[in-house]
Structure 1
């Protein structure tokens, strides 16, 4: 809801409350003047004789009565029991024979109606402290319903005991039931309007708190709820509904609601102004006042319930009201420049709070107990005004918080964006540097590979020159060929690494390339059948590839050189298989050649090289002779 709408509603509400309240007060005063029993003839009064409490005694002894204007309103009336006497004759112009005899704030009233013959028509009981079961069906705590006949004289005897510490006011009013209902109806319209507005605002604050979870809504809700309960508790139906047979307890709890409202308002002030941070001294004083309100609430309840001294409790209320006025006046005068525009609405609400307390203190001092009939309307009116102002302030506060949050969010987003830009720029520069380093490294690697390749090729070419340049003998040429084969194996690994641009090689490709080269060098006519069995083209590391290529080169070279002599008649076959098992890799190499003696196997340079290379790659080898030589290798971490 927008603030201007709330202000408009507040103005309309104030105008309506002032209008209905003024009409209700004026009509009440007019009805009191026109219907007071003392208008036509004076009400007579006497103090009860402790030995006589029978109405017949006071009817038969008119001499003990004096006009009510002659009795002193002293302390004796606050404790004693008094009898009032009035002679009435209903007018024949009235359209109904039902009358209402009403009064204000008296605790115990016994009515006795006596006809012209001196006979008692009926006796009834009423009063604020009466149990409901003691009242007649049509009567209430503040009035009797009488059935009178026109033009017939009656004598009304009233036994009054007032137990609230105040001097009783005997403003008994006799009027027709229709006039009484009209008068009550106007007051009920005002109360209904106020209570309806309170209920609407309570629902609004409950929903607003559920949506925003803003804690001051809770304090305003409790404040307005307490005021609503306080106003309702001042009415008779509240006592009849909740304290059917213990009315004095019900009237004693009324002040608790006003104390709860005051505590809620102080908590709202502390929370909304953030008083603990804003001004520590005023925060501590507010805490002391809250504790004082709680203590006085307990003392007032005990005083009202056990001692029925409402007058003394009223002085406590007046003292607290003065404390409230002094505190809030000093608070906002001192902190006006330190609070923002939204928090100043709480100051405006405090002005209404102080004004309402001032009005109630004035009524309590001037009207005493009779102020109760105006307190309910005053508290509801000022509570609604305070609530509307506070809702405006809270709404503006929440709006400001939303704007601040959006601004802070935008600033944070902007800061994060700038940081991301800086990070991206730094990352871009790092990427450029990494690309330059990668290019430099690639250049170095290419240079190294090129030099390695050239060096290996140089060694290989030198071997070829030695073989063809001079006649060194067959054995010498075989040694050079073996060296060339090993060099070629290393050249092959280097070539595959450069081609793959990786630190791993394909096992099957390496084995087939090695086998094809050695067949071309040692068996160009392909007399020997070479069978290669590898399940998959697994990847192996560089540390494994060179030793493995040298092992296969050494085994194939030995087979080509020694396993198949020229005079042999069988078909030469070489089998090479690599199988991956669960925990290891098995490589098996075998030929069906002539084999070799044990002495040769133990002293051969090639066999020793194979064993050393196998240990280098964490493997083991077994050599068996069965229709040729068989090598069984076990490697743990080759694949």
Structure 2
């Protein structure tokens, strides 16, 4: 009996204390003019692990629920029914908002006879087509009449494997929209700053082609997208009909930003040359980033365990943290002041990383409310530090480049001065040598002239002796040839270097001297046709002079023995890019046995030497035609 009595007392105590909370909840009073109401303190809850209850059933039955402040959940991904009653002091549009739920369904009915049940759908991973018109992913909107009691039932489903959070707030619609606008404005300014910073970095890369700007651009762009994804804007802008895909891409943006960060550090700090072991570890971690991104993507895609992937990411970030600390300790003293700005940015990133890790482990999914703002603000600050470091380093490179160019210019000027000095000295030396050579040439010409004079004098003395006629002819021939050589030598001595000879005076002197030797009585008439402006290359003077001498000597010796009025005609002209020389006399011509004599053979050899052609006609005197093509005579 005593045991039964005690049992009845316990039941009486239980219904006295908790019966009013479970059965027939009294509606709380909602005053729109005041601050929004946290519904968590008014909820009773039911965990529906088998998805066996319906809204109509639960709206009528309060006995299945228990107070939320005494509730312990059994499964993180189960469905939870939250129920309460409220009464508004005004007729007004109200909003129920939340932050974390994957799927949420609102059931609302006035606690009056004949009331109609209202159902609205929302949720983070609900396609836009499934969300009730007038609502968003994170709020319900409806109208409440004055002093009417409403039964509010919410079905909450969270498939991310985080601990269930029942953060529902009831507020007046205008007040909610005002706060929402203010919150979005605060979220958008760091996004705008990141976008402007991204554009600036891109323009810097375009103007400089400095590779670390690519990694900085990747870091800023990826972390900006990461913040946008955490704020749910990425889903609303790009994945409204497939929100789960937008949520998967958010983690990929995080790892893409980390890839850009550590590539920037390895590249701009030149770790490969400063510490090969650190460089290899860094490359290994960088290669691990896409692998981790793929693992997290697959876990979230197939198992939707976002809490697990968040812990995996956090642990991997701790590994990066350790590597970064070791990296800073080992190379700190090797960094210049510009590179240390990047180190300060890395330290800022590591501190934020530690704070985020502690926040995720301590507050779970609640920390993701403030993480986007922290992520964007810190990423902008870090990017500014990195940008200042890169710009400073680039400026240092440009200053060093300018300094090297100045030194190179000075060195080149000095080399030019040395070269000019060497050229002057060499020019002076060559001038002295040229003067010496000119002296030697003049001396040689003088000696040649003296020798020719001696030969000319000896032959003249021998000619005066007149031992016999044959010797007399030989001596005259030699005298004429020597005179031709002397004329050429005289013209060379009068000029400087390779100056050309005046053709007409040169030929006339040969004719005059030949007449003195062979025609003392001036019986032979000469008809010479040479333009006064024609000039003869000095290298061609001797062979041409000897040819003309031999022609005149042959005419004197063989042509005019029986001629009453002897005459010799000589003409030189330019015709169709070829120089022509005509020579003829009106003598008796030459016998066949004379045509191949020494004189004619010498004429042919000299013509071949000058690369010319010779035509000989032996009718009514003798007629020579010389053709020197392509200016072989050097006449101008």
User: Do both proteins adopt the same fold according to a TM-score greater than 0.5, normalized to the shorter chain?
Assistant: yes
Aligned length: 597
Q: In the alignment, which residue of structure 2 is the partner of 1:480?
A: 475
Shift of residue 383, structure 1, vs aligned partner: 0.3
Q: What is residue 541 of structure 2 aligned with on the other side?
A: 545
Deviations 1:378-431 (A, max 9, x none): 101110110111111112111111111111111212222222222222222222
TM-score, reference length from structure 2:
0.88
Q: Are 1:449 and 2:455 matched, yes or no?
A: no
Of the structure 1 ranges 118-127 and 299-308, higher mean CA displacement relative to structure 2 is found in 118-127
Q: How does 1:468-507 map to 2 (within 5 A)?
A: 468=464, 470=465, 472=467, 477-503=472-498, 505-506=500-501
Corresponding residue of 1:86: 84
1:475-521 residue CA offsets vs partner (Å, 9 max, x unmatched)? 65554333221111000111222233344744734333322433455
Relative distance call for 1:579 and 1:122 in structure 2 (3 A) is same
SS of the residue 2:236 aligns to? helix
Q: Deviations 1:43-99 (Å, cap 9, x if unpaired)?
A: 1011227474321211221111100111114xx23121111101111123xxx6011
Q: Given the superposition, is the C-alpha separation of residues 366 and 552 from structure 1 closer, same or farther in structure 2, using an over 3 Å criterion? A: same
| In 1: Cα distance, 2:477 partner to 2:400 partner | 85
Give yes or no for contact 2:445–2:489 (8 Å, CA) kept in 1: yes
Show the counterpart of 1:115.
Answer: 110
The 1:597/1:338 distance shift into structure 2, 3 A limit, reads same
Q: Is the 8 A contact 1:507 1:540 kept in 2?
A: no
Matched, 1:234 2:230: yes
1:122-141 Cα shifts (integer Å, max 9, x gaps) = 10111111111111221011
5 Å-filtered alignment, 1:234-383, equals: 234-383=230-379
Match of residue 20 from structure 2: none
Q: Which residue of 1 aligns with 2:94?
A: 99
The answer (yes or no) to whether the contact 1:227–1:261 under 8 Å persists in 2 is: yes
Q: Once structures 1 and 2 are overlaid, which stretch shifts more, 144-153 or 531-540?
A: 531-540
The alignment's TM-score, normalised by the length of structure 1, stands at: 0.87
Q: How does 1:392-471 map to 2 (within 5 A)?
A: 392-468=388-464, 470=465
User: In structure 1, what is the Cα distance between the partners aligned to 2:329 and 2:199?
Assistant: 33
Task: Assess, with a 3 A threshold, how the Cα gap between structure 1 residues 32 and 557 changes in structure 2: closer, same or farther.
Answer: farther
Pairwise CA distance, 1:357 = 0.9
Structure 1: distance between partners of 2:257 and 2:449: 97
Equivalent in the alignment of 2:39? 37
SS of 1:337's equivalent? helix
Using the TM superposition, give the Cα deviation of residue 633 of structure 1 relative to its aligned residue in structure 2, in angstroms.
4.0
CA distance in 2, matches of 1:291, 1:32: 54
Shifted more, 443-452 versus 387-396: the winner is 387-396
CA–CA separation in structure 1 for the residues paired with 2:332 and 2:598:
105
Structure 1 pair 610/33, CA: closer, same or farther in 2 (3 Å)? same
Question: Bigger CA drift: 437-446 or 527-536?
Answer: 527-536
Aligned to 2:386: 390
Please, which of 153, 163, 166 is the counterpart of residue 170 of structure 1? 166
Deviations 1:79-120 (A, max 9, x none): 21111101111123xxx6011101121111111001112634
The secondary structure found in structure 2 opposite 1:63 is coil
2:546 match: secondary structure: helix
Kindly indicate whether residue 150 of structure 2 is the aligned counterpart of residue 150 of structure 1. no
Q: Is the 8 A contact 2:572 2:580 kept in 1?
A: yes
* Cα distance between partner residues in 2 of 1:354 and 1:143: 35
Contact 2:525 2:567 survives alignment (8 Å) = yes
SS at match of 1:482: helix
1:627 aligns with 2:620: yes
CA-based RMSD of the aligned residues comes to 2.6
**Structure 1, 202-211 or 178-187: larger mean CA deviation:** 178-187
* 8 Å contact from structure 1 (residues 32, 173) kept in 2: no
Q: 1:606 maps to what in 2?
A: 599
In 2 relative to 1, CA 550–90 (structure 1 residues): closer, same or farther, beyond 3 Å?
same
Unaligned runs of at least 5 residues, structure 1: 1-30
- Report if the CA contact (8 A) 2:36-2:170 is conserved: no
Note the residue ranges of structure 2 that are not aligned, 5 or more in a row: 1-32
Query: Contact between 1:141 and 1:236, CA under 8 Å: does it hold in 2?
Result: no
CA contact (8 A) 1:112 1:120 kept: no
- The reply on whether 1:222 has 2:224 as its aligned counterpart is no
Moved more, 503-512 or 221-230: 503-512
| Cα distance between partner residues in 2 of 1:245 and 1:288 | 38
* Relative contact order, higher structure (CA 8 A, sep 6+): 1
